[in-house]
Amino acid sequence: MDNRPIGFFDSGLGGLTCVPHLMKKLPNERIIYFGDTARTPYGSKAPSTIRKFSLQISDFLVENKVKMIVIACNTVSATCLYDLKERYPDTPVLGIIQPAAGAVAENCSPSNRIGIIGTKVTIASHTYEETILKQNGKLDIFETACPAFVPLIEEGIIENDIMDLTIRHYMDDFILENRIDTVVLGCTHYPLIRSNIERRYPDIRIIDPSEEIVSSIENTLKKKEMMAEYPETENIFYASDLSENFVRMIRRIFMHSDVNVEFKNLDLEEV
């Protein structure tokens, strides 16, 4: 039994899409979330920069006594999961790509045509493709980067024509030419535009890694006997730029869940 909070981080808002799934499945757990809103997006930055930012944030989470680090960001998971695992040998570190790739390998068949969408860094790393094929070598995988999605989502530009046009721009030909029938939302921001994608491509099956990672969190906590028995703290949401937008988006994401939130701005100089 371990009542300490779980540390989550992302370049911004995206990682929050995991949290309602976690709260539903593991209601006794609490989290410390860090959104690096001052430096988002990560998805087009150099891997060395992403690694530096991620180590800085993870150090902060470990100093705040989290019992586990969840990399709620595909870009970071693709870039430096193993650096983080090595740096904190006493703290379990979970990436978001591995559980999602496992779900694809298990639930898809060779008749499926699987499309991975993500940031430039995630797609260029081919981590999804390689991890899926290692487990199920018979699948057909196609990948494409959609770099404008994250800045639009961080701005709250979701339910409107600009987002719908951007989806068409990146995905229409990709889906048609490759005859894609299954799409993996390979960026934790993308569940926020899931309904736009479903509206445009109603026949496509969607796999959401933000949901898949929760089973992996549960399995690890159970295996290590680290499940919380009762909540000891509130959930705390840190942002490196606590903008009105961030607060508004958190409220929108948690609209239907009973989650108490406390917001804190964190000057990166202090980290």
* Helices and strands (H and E) in the chain: how many: 11, 10
Active site residue 73: yes
Residue of 73, 80, 108, 146 with catalytic role? 73
Asked if residues 83 and 55 have their Cβ atoms less than 8 Å apart, the reply is yes
- 10: contact with ligand DGL by CB under 6 A: yes
Q: Which two tokens stand for residue 33?
A: 């979330």
DSSP classification of residue 240? S
Going 130 to 132 to 136 to 140, the CA torsion angle's sign is: negative
Q: Which residues pair with 237 in a beta bridge?
A: 33, 263
According to CB under 6 A, which one of 37, 74, 182, 196 is a site residue for ligand DGL?
74
Phi, psi of 242 (to 5 degrees): -80, 75
Enter the tokens of residue 168.
């068409």
Q: Which of 219, 263, 236, 198 is nearest to 30 (CA)?
A: 236
Q: Is 235 in the site for ligand DGL (CB under 6 A)?
A: no
Query: Could you tell me the smallest distance in angstroms from the CB atom of residue 157 to ligand DGL?
Result: 15
Among 7, 20, 35, 41, binds ligand DGL (CB under 6 A): 41
Site string for ligand DGL, 80-119 (x = CB under 6 A): ---------------------------------------x
Task: Say whether residue 54 binds ligand DGL (CB under 6 A).
Answer: no
Residue 260's Cβ-count burial label (10 Å; 0-12, 13-18, 19+) is: exposed
Q: Minimal distance in Å, beta carbon 3 to ligand DGL?
A: 28
CB-nearest residue to ligand DGL: 43
Q: Are strands 182-186 and 93-95 parallel, antiparallel or unpaired?
A: unpaired
Query: Does the footprint of ligand DGL cover residue 11 (CB under 6 A)?
Result: yes
Q: Which of 5, 7, 14, 115 binds ligand DGL (CB under 6 A)?
A: 14
Binder of ligand DGL out of 37, 58, 122, 127 (CB under 6 A): 122
Active centre residues (catalytic): 73, 187
The residues that touch ligand DGL, with contacts defined as CB under 6 A, are 10-12, 14, 40-43, 73-75, 119, 122, 150, 187-189
